[in-house]
Amino acid sequence: MKNNIIFEKCLPNFGKELIADIEKSGIIKTFSDHEFIVKQGQLIHYLPIVLEGHVKAYSEEDGVQFLLYYIQQGASCIFSFVHLFNPNPIDFSAISEGKSTLLLIPVNKAKEWLIRFPSFNNLIIVEFQKHYSDLLHTTKQIICYKLEDRLWDYLKTKAKISGTYELAISHQSIADDLGTTREVISRLMKKIELDKKIIQNNRKIKVLISDF
């Protein structure tokens, strides 16, 4: 019954029949901060849906890590959907940012529910649209924006997702997500601080924005 309540809260459009099926076949698992949910090079066995917390999806090429997007409550990963019908190893990783709770749906059940339940099919369509927009936004940033603008957008996004103005994140972690070096990020962070957009103190970054 407890799981049923969680599903109805996080996935309100699924309906009683689908939720009953999820209770039978799905696995609820809690991940700690920076724990891998899937790792690049593995095969997909489960379709993950975030119930609580948030997850970072990124790709790595020649030792360079690059942020793709974040997955929040009630959402899944567009790349996981692609690999439902693709037996090849995945070309992305996903890790928990902070503590998160995920629903893991076996691939065979996800394929079955795509046909049986319009609400499940709709989730996939909506997530494709959202993450397509996220990836398009990221691509435009890389092509059109200066790194300083990308960094500022990154910090605002982190604040919005985390639900707090104060971010406990290192310059190296930011550099990894943006595909650059710690020295470059440290220099730009100092400039953004001089512009009074952030305050850096005790290894924390306070983002000075009025709303999320």
Taking the model in full, what pTM does it have?
Answer: 0.72
Please tell me whether residues 66 and 155 are part of one structural domain. Answer: no
Instruction: Take residue 50 and report the two structure tokens written for it.
Output: 């975030």
Calculate helix-pair angle for 15-25, 107-116, nearest 10 degrees. Answer: 170
Instruction: Determine the average pLDDT of the residues in 81-88.
Output: 76
Average pLDDT, the chain: 84
Q: Quick: pLDDT tens for 88-105.
A: 888 889 999 989 999 999
In the chain, % of residues over pLDDT 70: 92
Among the residue ranges 64-73, 99-108, 192-201, the one predicted with the least confidence is 64-73
Instruction: Take residue 187 and report the two structure tokens written for it.
Output: 């220099």
Alpha helix segments (H runs only) across 31-170: 78-82, 107-116, 118-144, 147-162
Domains held by the chain: number: 2
Tell me which residue of 167, 174, 175 sits closest to 204, measured CA to CA. 167
Please tell me whether residues 149 and 138 are part of one structural domain. Answer: no
Instruction: Determine the average pLDDT of the residues in 41-55.
Output: 89
In the chain, % of residues over pLDDT 90: 29
Pairing mode, if any, of strands 198-201 and 204-207? antiparallel
Please tell me whether residues 30 and 104 are part of one structural domain. Answer: yes
Instruction: Match 């997007």 to its residue by tokens.
Output: 69
In a domain, 16, yes or no: yes
State residue 143's pLDDT score.
62
Domain that holds residue 152: 145-207
Residue 66 contacts by C-beta under 8 Å, 6 or more apart in sequence?
Answer: 58, 59, 60, 177, 178, 179
Judged by DSSP in three states, 70 sits in strand
Please tell me whether residues 138 and 157 are part of one structural domain. Answer: no
Out of 87, 110, 143, a domain closes at: 143
In a domain, 212, yes or no: no
In a domain, 169, yes or no: yes
Cα dihedral 95, 101, 105, 106 sign = positive
- CA–CA separation, 141 and 153 (whole Å): 9
Q: Is the pLDDT of residue 3 over 70?
A: no
Q: Is the pLDDT of residue 193 over 90?
A: yes
Q: Is the pLDDT of residue 1 over 50?
A: no
Q: What is the CATH number of the domain that holds 190?
A: 1.10.10.10
| Residue 110 main-chain phi, psi, to 5 deg | -60, -40
State residue 145's pLDDT score.
72
Q: What is the CATH number of the domain that holds 106?
A: 2.60.120.10
- CA–CA separation, 49 and 18 (whole Å): 14
State residue 174's pLDDT score.
92
In a domain, 95, yes or no: yes
Q: Quick: pLDDT tens for 133-179.
A: 777 777 766 666 788 988 998 999 899 888 888 999 999 999 998 88
Among the residue ranges 64-78, 105-119, 160-174, the one predicted with the least confidence is 64-78
Task: Specify the DSSP element, H or E, that contains 169.
Answer: none
In a domain, 76, yes or no: yes
Instruction: Take residue 144 and report the two structure tokens written for it.
Output: 């059109």
Q: Is the pLDDT of residue 125 over 90?
A: no
- CA–CA separation, 198 and 209 (whole Å): 9
Instruction: Match 């369509």 to its residue by tokens.
Output: 125
Among the residue ranges 4-13, 26-35, 124-133, 181-190, the one predicted with the least confidence is 4-13
